[in-house]
């Protein structure tokens, strides 16, 4: 790594977590080695091994106005945030990605949720402490200055670089009990969609041209990631696990051109190419200008709401299969009895689904899509899976009050976790 790149990464680290250090939460805080020890039922750790729980949760902690999430989290008594925190406390992940968490430049919301909610007992649950967090800008809400949806008007959420009413809406934040190697984080917020070979660029059905929904001028601006793609290295003992975090756009809210469906598919493909590395990833460049994908010897976990079900829903056929079919990836297929139960109780389009309802992670009872599997924790085959699950209790059982039915007390998504055995060198 060159000295200029190192300097930029260190600057990014200061922007990401520097405020936390000044707030008294040191970014090199001790105690992370025992992060997993307080989980009931955790198997004894063998020599050179550590069991780690990775989780993803679309927490729906997004708001309709800039600054509203900071305001809500400042009080410590926001009911939705309390219940989201209770879900996290019950599941006690060591590393958790939250999607749909509004980003702010001062990282106030991320810190407020940590100190006012996660570190405070919710309904008698054991507080959970994350000495480390990572968050970064999102493409959502950044004005493009162009008519990207071709409706004849410029401006608004649908003409932004990523759909959003304001910059940072629907962002992401990663919390960890283990140190985050901020100096080696790679982000891909600025990667242009056109720079992906054989990209699924949308076609304007009103013309005879191909892949011409966007003008040449717009293609110099349109980014692949609707939010961002992050490669966040997490240090576990002397081992490193790369957290590959993203939140591809929903493959809906468009027309015949299928620009959101195509973008969703290519956002997923990005990680497939990145994981394969080598020639498949030579086209990839990060926000510091470094090229290429993941070292093939690296351990990794793909986390996020990828907005694609393997067989049901509205994503393009084969979209999530680009990841699930990789020889480097294992799919533990987390499941929940509550998911299977909800599919039967709610009926409607769910009765027509082909997938196993126990694998559903999102409760779209009020939408035509029905309940689908869209949230993923996909570890590399270099790590042994010890357990996996979805927090979706059966109706009337403890915890079901935290999932509920529409309108939901927490989110229309469920927390998904996978426990893996990390081998220390």
Domain ranges of the chain: 3-423
What's the rounded Cα separation, in Å, for the pair 365 and 146? Answer: 35
Task: Give me the pLDDT at residue 4, please.
Answer: 42
Does pLDDT of 331 surpass 50?
yes
Single pTM value for the model = 0.91
pLDDT of 15 higher than 80: no
Please tell me which residue, 35 or 142, carries the higher pLDDT value: 142
Q: How far apart are CA 326 and CA 36, in angstroms?
A: 29
For residues 57-86, average pLDDT: 98
pLDDT at 271 over 60: yes
Q: What is the pLDDT of residue 268?
A: 98
| Residue that the structure tokens 């929904």 belong to | 213
pLDDT recorded at residue 39: 56
Domain 3-423 has CATH 3.40.50.300: no
User: Which of 96 and 407 is assigned the larger pLDDT?
Assistant: 96
Return the SS3 of 89.
Answer: helix
* Neighbouring residues of 238: CB distance < 8 A, sequence distance ≥ 6: 424, 425
Residue of higher predicted confidence among 48 and 204: 204
Q: Please, are residues 119 and 126 in contact by the beta-carbon 8 Å criterion?
A: no
Average pLDDT for 407-416: 96
- Determine the pLDDT at residue 423: 86
Q: What is the mean pLDDT of residues 284-308?
A: 97
In Å, the largest CA–CA distance within the chain is 64
Q: What rounded mean pLDDT belongs to the chain?
A: 90
Query: How far apart are alpha carbons 116 and 220 in whole angstroms?
Result: 42
Q: What is the pLDDT of residue 348?
A: 87
The pLDDT score that the predictor gives to residue 7 is 40
Instruction: Report the pLDDT value the prediction gives residue 366, as an integer from 0 to 100.
Output: 58
Question: Is the pLDDT score of 2 beyond 60?
Answer: no
Distances (CA, A) of 216 to 190, 202, 222, 231: 17, 13, 10, 30
**Confidence band for 369, pLDDT divided at 50, 70 and 90:** confident
Does position 205 have pLDDT exceeding 50, yes or no? Answer: yes
Average pLDDT, stretch 34-63?
71
Q: How confident is the model at residue 197 (pLDDT cuts 50, 70, 90)?
A: very high
Average pLDDT over residues 315-335: 97
pLDDT in tens, 234-256: 999 999 999 999 999 999 999 99
Give the pLDDT confidence score for residue 425 in this predicted structure.
64
Complete edge-to-edge strand list for the sheet that includes strand 239-245: 186-187, 230-236, 239-245, 299-305, 375-379
Q: What is the pLDDT, as a whole number, of residue 93? A: 98
The whole-number pLDDT of residue 118 equals 98
Place of tokens 């407020």: 112
Under 8 Å CB-to-CB from 152, ≥6 apart: which residues?
Answer: none
Q: Judge whether residue 6 has pLDDT over 80.
A: no
């Amino acid at each position: 790594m060159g000295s200029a790149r190192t300097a930029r990464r260190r600057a990014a680290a200061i922007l990401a977590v520097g405020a936390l250090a000044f707030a008294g939460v040191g970014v090199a805080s001790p105690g992370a080695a025992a992060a997993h020890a307080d989980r009931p039922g955790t198997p004894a750790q063998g020599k050179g091994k550590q069991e780690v729980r990775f989780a993803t949760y679309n927490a729906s902690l997004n708001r309709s106005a800039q600054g509203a999430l900071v305001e809500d989290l400042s009080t410590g008594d926001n009911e939705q945030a309390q219940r989201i925190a209770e879900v996290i406390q019950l599941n006690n992940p060591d590393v958790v990605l939250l999607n749909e968490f509004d980003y702010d430049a001062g990282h106030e919301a991320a810190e407020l949720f940590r100190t006012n909610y996660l570190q405070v007992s919710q309904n008698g649950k054991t507080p959970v402490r994350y000495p480390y967090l990572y968050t970064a800008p999102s493409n959502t809400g950044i004005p493009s200055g162009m008519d990207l949806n071709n409706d004849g008007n410029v401006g608004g959420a649908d003409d932004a670089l990523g759909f959003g009413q304001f910059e940072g809406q629907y962002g992401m934040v990663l919390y960890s009990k283990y140190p985050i190697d901020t100096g080696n984080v790679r982000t891909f917020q600025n990667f242009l969609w056109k720079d992906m070979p054989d990209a699924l660029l949308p076609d304007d059905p009103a013309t005879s041209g191909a892949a011409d929904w966007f003008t040449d001028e717009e293609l110099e601006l349109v980014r692949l990631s609707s939010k961002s793609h992050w490669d966040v290295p997490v240090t576990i003992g002397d081992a490193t696990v790369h957290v590959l975090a993203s939140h591809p756009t929903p493959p809906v809210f468009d027309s015949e051109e299928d620009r959101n469906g195509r973008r969703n598919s290519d956002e997923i493909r990005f990680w497939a190419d990145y994981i394969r590395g080598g020639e498949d990833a030579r086209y990839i460049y990060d926000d510091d200008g470094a090229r290429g994908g993941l070292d093939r010897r690296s351990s990794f976990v793909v986390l996020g709401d990828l907005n694609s079900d393997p067989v049901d829903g509205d994503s393009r056929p084969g979209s999530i299969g680009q990841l699930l079919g990789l020889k480097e990836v294992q799919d533990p297929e987390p499941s929940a009895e509550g998911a299977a139960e909800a599919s039967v109780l709610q009926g409607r389009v769910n009765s027509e689904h082909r997938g196993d309802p126990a694998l559903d992670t999102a409760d779209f009872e009020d939408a035509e899509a029905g309940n689908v599997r869209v949230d993923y924790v996909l570890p590399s085959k270099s790590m042994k899976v010890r357990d996996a699950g979805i927090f979706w209790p059966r109706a009337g059982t403890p915890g079901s009050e935290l999932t509920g039915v529409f309108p939901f007390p927490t989110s229309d998504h469920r927390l998904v976790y996978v426990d893996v055995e990390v081998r220390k060198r």
